[in-house]
Amino acid sequence: MASSRVAMSEMRGMNQNWALRRTDSAGIVAISPPMALHTTSSTGRRPLQTAPENVLRDRWWWAPAAALFRRAVRIRHWAFDRGFRASQEGALPTVVLGNVTVGGTGKTPHLKALLQKLMDSSKDTRWAILSRGYGRKTQGFLRVDREGKPEEYGDEPLEVARKFPGVAVYVCEDRLQGLERIREAGLADAVLMDDGLQHRKLIPSIGIALVDTTQPVDRDHFLPRGRLRDLPERITKADAVILTRCPTALTKGDLRLWRHRLKLAADTPLLHSGSRPEGLRAMATKRYASWPMRCVAVSGIAQPAQFEAHLSRHCSVVRHFAYPDHQEFAPKHLEEWRQALATPDERDQLPEALITTEKDAERIRPLAGAADLPILILNLHIQWWDTVALDGLLSTIRERVEAFQSNSDI
């Protein structure tokens, strides 16, 4: 109870659009928008009685394994910090986006949004994307073919490649090797790297940490007990921090509180963002589509309730097939969705369309018969709440890129 009272006191003064939640097991407090979210089973037959995603679940029985993982992570960082393991700059100036948790902070949407801003503000710089390619069945350094398949490159790199046809997108497990190969290809002047904060072998030109405000890292536990895969204090090593999933702009008091909670230096840029639906596109025609009255939702992402909340603001979600993150879809799934589209709701009305995410669309598109379904893709827009802070970050990135290039010419 004492820890709960302290946490409640810390959060006093937060924007009134936020609500406090507490788990019964450990007094863990999470901040969340006051919206009623729910998911349904992947079979779509009945709702799952699950806790909201923004409540941090304390799987205390995994505490011994989590303690071992935390110790291993600390030892690894100690080895790099003391020079027992080497770190070096890459072959090209590199901007790294990442987080200290598994999934759900919005790395890919922010990578796309930041890439667009960088392309608009530094037209003379040719940007490339480098990703590990999570979930692919290939190995080594590859350039992403926009007409390829997720098993070749991973769903997220393929999503970015389709979004930006003029940008070279690459995958490689070894980021240093990947940067060298990109330099040799001669198609880029700088690289935006997805999910690279844990890649200590690389010293980035600038590192940006994303923090999900609905699941604060200072109240979480290490895997497998919680969602942490890295030390929360590693956020203080980032050159900039972005608070994600903010439904409205935060006040100066809110930002001071977050800076205190994350133990950030006074001069560390602290941005905050939210997301909103930008519109729907038909998978078959790639054209913009209007919102249906009723829909079936399909998602294989880390936070399906967030996706459902976006849809619920525009249409009635009759059924939501919520699968694990990076779910591999098969023809049997198409049949389940087809049956759901043919099943009337309680008012004896049929769903008019199936709506999925941009990431999931990459894994649905290759399936034979997918084109026969009325599948719509939800496009999300990242809302930067503080454009002055964003302009400052873009300016810093340009300066770091120019400094890297100047040093390389010496």
Instruction: Find all residues with CB under 8 Å of 325, minimum gap 6, and list them.
Output: 103, 300, 301, 302
User: Running DSSP on this structure, what letter comes out for residue 156?
Assistant: H
Q: Does residue 132 share a domain with residue 203?
A: yes
- Does residue 71 lie in a domain region? no
Concatenated DSSP letters for 258-295?
A: HHHHTT--TTS-EEEEEEEEEEEEETTT--EEPPPSEE
Predicted model pTM: 0.84
Q: Does residue 149 share a domain with residue 269?
A: yes
Q: Which two tokens stand for residue 155?
A: 């769903």
pLDDT value at residue 345? 86
Q: In Å, what is the CA distance from 333 to each residue of 26, 42, 338, 404?
A: 38, 9, 9, 48
Q: Does residue 388 share a domain with residue 325?
A: no
**Rounded to 5, what percent of the chain is helix, strand, coil?**
35, 25, 40
- Does residue 183 lie in a domain region? yes
Q: In Å, what is the CA distance from 179 to each residue of 138, 160, 169, 247?
A: 18, 18, 12, 36
Which residue reads 């639906």 in tokens?
Answer: 277
Task: Say how far apart CA 299 and CA 324 lie, in whole Å.
Answer: 8
Q: In Å, what is the CA distance from 366 to each residue of 287, 299, 328, 339, 361?
A: 18, 16, 11, 20, 9
- Does residue 19 lie in a domain region? no
Does residue 37 contact residue 305 with C-beta atoms inside 8 Å? Answer: yes
Does residue 172 contact residue 94 with C-beta atoms inside 8 Å? Answer: no
Q: What's the CATH number where 162 sits?
A: 3.40.50
Could you write out the three-class secondary structure of 181-203?
Answer: HHHHHCCCCEEEEECCCCCCCEE
- Does residue 57 lie in a domain region? no
Q: Does residue 143 share a domain with residue 239?
A: yes
Q: In Å, what is the CA distance from 171 to each residue of 5, 141, 148, 174, 302?
A: 46, 6, 13, 9, 21
Domain that holds residue 170: 86-275+383-409
Does residue 152 contact residue 136 with C-beta atoms inside 8 Å? Answer: yes
- Does residue 177 lie in a domain region? yes
Q: Does residue 189 share a domain with residue 91?
A: yes
Q: Does residue 243 share a domain with residue 283?
A: no
CA atoms within 13 A on the CB side of 131: 24
Chain-centre distance of CA 259, in angstroms? 21
List residues bridging with 271 in a β-sheet. 242
Burial class (CB in 10 A: 0-12, 13-18, 19+), 177: middle
Could you write out the three-class secondary structure of 199-252?
Answer: CCCEECCEEEEEEECCCCHHHCCECCCCCECCCHHHHHHCCEEEEECCCCCCCH
- Does residue 43 lie in a domain region? no
Q: Does residue 350 share a domain with residue 257?
A: no
Q: How many domains does the chain have?
A: 2
- Does residue 151 lie in a domain region? yes
Does residue 292 contact residue 353 with C-beta atoms inside 8 Å? Answer: yes
Task: Say how far apart CA 405 and CA 403 lie, in whole Å.
Answer: 5
What are phi and psi for residue 114, nearest 5 degrees? -70, -40
Q: Does residue 270 share a domain with residue 360?
A: no
- Does residue 166 lie in a domain region? yes
Residue type, 328: E
Q: Does residue 113 share a domain with residue 215?
A: yes
Q: Does residue 255 share a domain with residue 178?
A: yes
Q: Which two tokens stand for residue 138?
A: 């290939």
Q: Does residue 284 share a domain with residue 399?
A: no
Task: Say how far apart CA 369 and CA 180 lie, in whole Å.
Answer: 41
pLDDT value at residue 166? 95
- pLDDT tens per residue, the chain (410 residues)? 444 433 333 333 333 333 333 333 322 223 233 333 334 444 343 333 233 444 456 799 999 999 999 999 999 999 999 999 999 999 999 999 999 999 778 999 999 999 999 999 988 999 999 999 998 999 999 999 999 999 999 999 999 999 999 999 999 999 999 999 999 999 999 999 988 899 999 999 999 999 999 988 988 999 999 999 999 999 999 999 999 999 999 999 999 999 999 999 999 999 999 999 999 999 999 999 999 999 999 999 988 999 999 999 999 999 999 999 989 999 999 999 999 999 998 888 999 999 999 999 999 999 978 889 999 999 999 999 999 999 999 999 999 999 999 887 76
Residue 406: count of CB within 10 angstroms of its CB:
9
Q: Does residue 372 share a domain with residue 340?
A: yes
